[in-house]
Amino acid sequence: MALDEIDRRVLRALQRNGRLSNSDLSDVVHLSPSACHRRVQRLEKEGYIRDYVALLDPRKLNMPTTVFVEITLQAQAEEVLEAFEKSVSRIPDVLECHLMAGTADYLLKIVAENTEDFARIHRQHLARLPGVAQMQSSFALRTVCKTTALPV
């Protein structure tokens, strides 16, 4: 089902603050509380709203270092891709893993305490990933902009 402008207002408001009460949300999007509740339930049922989460501060949790790792595999065979993806999904420090078009096959986003901690992650996990031909790591110096909100 297509989203109308009210759906988009609901989604924008919940992306800014997922803890809004239904009453507060209904005020923000200019709907009655019951109509607002039905909208949110429909958006959840149809999969537009996937989850509600708390976004944690990596600095407060002593994980301020972000590392992007480009990985090139030895082959593109389905079994190689599946083995790699299964293994990488088990590494707790990997926040994201994307199959890419371009020079690298995969791009990983990893959090670590510092360079020594990343060396541990590399030694214990990354170096043991199956099918890897080449790996290149880049450390983020500063986050310029970051959001989890999709443009709706």
Rounded mean pLDDT for each run of 10 residues along the chain, 152 residues in total? 95 97 97 98 97 96 98 96 98 98 97 98 98 98 96 96
CA diameter of the chain:
57
CATH architecture designation of domain 65-139: 2-Layer Sandwich (3.30)
pLDDT given at position 84: 98
Choices 3.40.190.10, 1.10.10.10, 1.10.3720.10, 3.40.50.2000: CATH for 5-45? 1.10.10.10
CA nearest to 77, candidates 131, 126, 125: 131
Q: Is 121 within 8 Å of 91 (Cβ atoms)?
A: yes
This prediction has a pTM of 0.90
pLDDT value, residue 1: 77
User: What pLDDT score was predicted for residue 142?
Assistant: 95
